[in-house]
Amino acid sequence: MVATIQLDAAQHARKRVRSRRQREFARHLALGLIAFILVAPFYYVLLASLKDSTEIFSYPPKLLPIPLYLGNYRDLLWDTGFLRWMFNTLFVASSVTVIKVFLDSMAGFALAKIDFTGKRIVFMLMLILLMVPIGALIVPLWSLVSTLGLINTYLALILPPLANPLGAILMRQFILGLPRDLENAARLDGLSEFAIYWRIVLPLIKPGLVVLAVITFTDQFMSFTWPLIATTSDELQVLTVGIAALRAHGGANYGLWSASAIMSLVPIGIFFFVLQRQFLARSLAGALKQ
């Protein structure tokens, strides 16, 4: 009797391992298919960017890039303001990120750890206006920036995003999670509030800071509506606006558009590859808001 049970147990174990492997295989298959569908357009565009536009235009079209044509990239980099746009975007995105991380962490620190009048009202106000989209505010925002004489300056691109309360709220959540004793001890030691913020709180919430930085940088990289109307000269065009403007030239230069799409994805792709886990945390940040 005992032997039979043992055999059954072994068989059972083998079956379990096998079905586990089957399930794993099925998962890989499904995920692979989904990933393929999601990423296929990029490959297609990459191919198009390596073909001469007039060739793309030929009916019926040829699909394989033989011979490899680098003219689109050359035209993009030399004849358009692409490099300038890239610089502007990176400059603005980095500036906003650095400034916002500090401003928001300070604000979050105040909201979380310091008791002052109006704290609740300020926080409620931020929560309520959290979801108001910048797209619905372009009218008065434009008028305001124009009155301040800031249209077509870097400041016009850097200042408005600082108003987004998501960062402050996020930082508040993170800082609330820190134990009270740490700062109480620091206060007893006579550290000023700023020193507490700088030397104790900031290092402890570093993961939160990185999440905020990633969110901010990505959002700035992709923003379009506001830069479209806030900048009027060629020198200040950002990547998204510049690429949209490439459509303006008569005659559909699909090769050039494709090259611009691929080139614009290079920096963010590298950024993402290096900081993958923090990007995962970006999605997670939404969960933390609760």
Partner 1 sequence: MNQRIDRQICALSDAHQTGRLSRRTFVMRLLQLGLSTAAVASIAAEFRPAYAAAKDLKGHVRFLVGPWSEGEVDHQKHIAQAFNALHPDVTFDFRLYQWDTAAQEISASVAGGGHDIYMTTESSYPDYEAGNGFEDLTARINDPAFAAEKAKYLYWERTESYGPKLLGLPISWHVEDALFVNMDKVRAAGHDASFIDSWDKFLDCITKMTKEGETYGLGIGIQVGGYGEWYQRLRSAGGSYLTPDHTKPNVNLPDVVKVTEQMAELFKKGIAPPLGTYSYDAAPGAFAAGKLAILSSDLAGTTVLPKKVPFDWKLLPYPPGPVSQVNFNDVTYYMANAKSPDKDLLWEVMTFWTNGANDAYWADNSGTYPARTDAAQNGYGTNAAPQLAEALPLFEKHAVGLENFAQWATVEGLAEAEIQNCYAGKSTAAEAVANVEKIVKHEVGL
Partner 2 sequence: MGLDAATGAGVPLGRLRLSAEEHRRLRHQARLRRELTGWLFLAPMFACFVIFLVLPVIGTVWWSLRSGGLGGETKFIGFRNFTDLPDTVGAGTAITNTLVFALISVPLILIGALAIALLLARIERGGSIYRFLIYFPVLVPGVVAALIWLFMTNVDFGLFNEVARALGGKPVVWLGADHALTVLAILDVWRNVGYWALFFVAAIIGLPKELYQAADLDGASALARLRYLTLPLLRRMIFFAVVVATIWGLQVFDTALVLTNGGPGTATTTVIYRVWLYMFGATNKIGVASAISLVLIIAILLLTLVQMRLLRGRRGGD
Footprint of partner 1 on residues 125-154 (CB under 8 A)? 142, 146, 151-152
Sole binder of partner 1 in the list 36, 43, 44, 57 (CB under 8 A): 57
| Token pair of 10 as six digits | 């072994």
1 versus 178: smaller Cβ distance to partner 2: 178
Rounded-to-integer distance, Cα 45 and Cα 38, Å: 13
Cα dihedral: 81, 87, 90, 94 (round 10): -150
Strand, coil or helix: 64: coil
Rounded-to-integer distance, Cα 144 and Cα 167, Å: 23
Strand, coil or helix: 98: helix
> If contact means CB under 5 to 8 A according to the sort of partner, which of partner 1, partner 2, none does residue 214 touch?
none
71 versus 198: smaller Cβ distance to partner 2: 198
The CB-based long-range contact list for 127-132 (8 Å cut-off, 24+ gap) reads 127/165, 127/169, 129/165, 130/165, 130/166, 130/169
- Our finding on whether 177 is near partner 2 (CB under 8 A) is no
Query: How many residues at the interface with partner 1, by CB under 8 A?
Result: 22
Rounded-to-integer distance, Cα 239 and Cα 46, Å: 18
Sole binder of partner 2 in the list 6, 11, 22, 143 (CB under 8 A): 143
Which residues, numbered 218-277, are part of the site for partner 2 (CB under 8 A)? 218, 221-225, 229, 239-241, 243-244, 247, 254, 257-258, 260-261, 264-265, 268-269, 272-273, 276
Which residues, numbered 30-59, are part of the site for partner 2 (CB under 8 A)? 30-32, 34-35, 38-42, 44-45, 48, 56, 59
Burial of 258 (0-12, 13-18, 19+ CB in 10 A): buried
- Our finding on whether 74 is near partner 1 (CB under 8 A) is no
- Our finding on whether 224 is near partner 1 (CB under 8 A) is no
Cis peptide preceding 67, ω within 30 of 0: yes
> If contact means CB under 5 to 8 A according to the sort of partner, which of partner 2, partner 1, none does residue 184 touch?
none
> If contact means CB under 5 to 8 A according to the sort of partner, which of partner 1, partner 2, none does residue 234 touch?
partner 1
